[in-house]
């Protein structure tokens, strides 16, 4: 029996992934087709982008100075059999404005340390520093929107998980008293966009907010000289 010509070829020729072989009649047809398909896949596939580190991610978030989005909020309380849901609009304006208005007309407006809550015909105002749990959540969200990594590190233990198509940042309050009220804040996003906020409270209750139909802008001032960053 004559020796198979394929075995007499140099190993580098046998391992040529990028050029389908022609005339190798002694190879089994199925194996030949499979090898050719693998070669084409390896040679034409786009390279996978490396995940972005936390510092770079924060810089990309900092470029967005204004966010307008629709939200859907879900609250799971141990005392209730069914979760509570609400929808509305959320707005962030750098450096420290954050507002949430529900479809029913109820709203929360936060500017710096001042909070205004509107429920129906009633209004209430207080300082956010007087509400430790709320202050922790607002700090986490505003600092992430602003890409303020130093502030996040001062107040939270950070667990950043980058992926090729998304990222997750888990925040655990450093202050023990706050940690008993707010156990973990988890923020998930894509590129320079925050898509989801999840809060696990000390008693096990959970709150989550999904953002959609977002408008991300970089503005020189409030609603001035804005350009899209998407």
Residue in 149, 145, 144, 117 with CA at minimum distance from that of residue 131: 117
What would the pLDDT profile of 26-37 be if each residue is shown by its tens digit? Answer: 555 665 655 555
pLDDT attached to residue 227:
75
**What mean pLDDT is reported for the chain?**
83
Is 187 a residue whose pLDDT tops 90? yes
pLDDT digit string, tens, across residues 131-160? 888 899 999 999 999 999 999 999 999 999
Q: Is the dihedral of CA 39, 41, 43, 48 positive or negative?
A: negative
Predicted confidence at residue 176, as pLDDT, reads 82
**Interval 119-132 mean pLDDT:** 92
Backbone phi and psi for residue 180, each to the nearest 5 degrees, phi listed first: -75, -20
pLDDT over 80 at 57, yes or no? yes
What integer pLDDT is reported at residue 221 of this predicted model? Answer: 62
Distance CA 1, CA 103 (A): 83
Burial of 140 (0-12, 13-18, 19+ CB in 10 A): buried
Q: Please state the rounded mean pLDDT for residues 167-183.
A: 91
CA quadruple 128, 190, 161, 94: dihedral sign: negative
3-class state of residue 81 by DSSP: coil
pTM over 0.85: no
Query: pLDDT band at 17, cuts 50/70/90?
Result: very low
Task: Give the pLDDT band of residue 229 (cuts 50, 70, 90).
Answer: confident
33-42, 43-52, 82-91: range with highest mean pLDDT: 82-91
pLDDT (0 to 100) of residue 226: 75
The helix/strand/coil state of 8 is helix
What pLDDT score does 137 carry?
Answer: 93
Query: Once rounded to an integer, what is the mean pLDDT over residues 162-185?
Result: 92
pLDDT of residue 48: 55
User: Which residues make beta-bridge pairs with 158?
Assistant: 171
> pLDDT by residue (tens digit) across 67-110?
999 999 999 999 998 999 999 999 999 999 999 999 999 999 99
């Amino acid at each position: 029996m004559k020796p198979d010509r394929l075995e007499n070829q140099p190993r580098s020729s046998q391992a040529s992934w990028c050029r389908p072989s022609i005339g190798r009649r002694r190879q089994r047809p199925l194996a030949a087709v499979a090898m050719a398909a693998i070669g084409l896949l390896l040679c034409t596939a786009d390279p996978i982008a490396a995940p972005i580190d936390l510092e770079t991610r924060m810089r990309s978030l900092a470029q967005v100075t204004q966010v307008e989005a629709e939200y859907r909020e879900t609250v799971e309380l141990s005392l209730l059999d069914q979760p509570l849901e609400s929808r509305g609009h959320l707005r962030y304006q750098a450096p420290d404005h954050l507002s949430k208005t529900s479809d029913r007309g109820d709203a929360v407006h936060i500017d710096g340390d001042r909070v205004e809550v509107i429920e129906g015909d009633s209004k209430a105002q207080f300082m956010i520093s007087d509400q430790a749990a709320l202050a922790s959540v607002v700090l986490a969200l505003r600092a992430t929107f602003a890409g303020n990594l130093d502030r996040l590190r001062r107040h939270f233990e950070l667990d950043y998980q980058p992926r090729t198509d998304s990222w997750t940042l888990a925040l655990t309050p450093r202050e023990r008293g706050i940690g008993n009220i707010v156990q973990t804040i988890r923020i998930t996003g894509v590129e320079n966009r925050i898509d989801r906020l999840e809060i696990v409270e000390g008693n096990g209750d959970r709150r989550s907010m999904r953002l959609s139909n977002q408008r991300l802008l970089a503005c020189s001032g409030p609603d001035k000289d804005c350009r899209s960053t998407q």
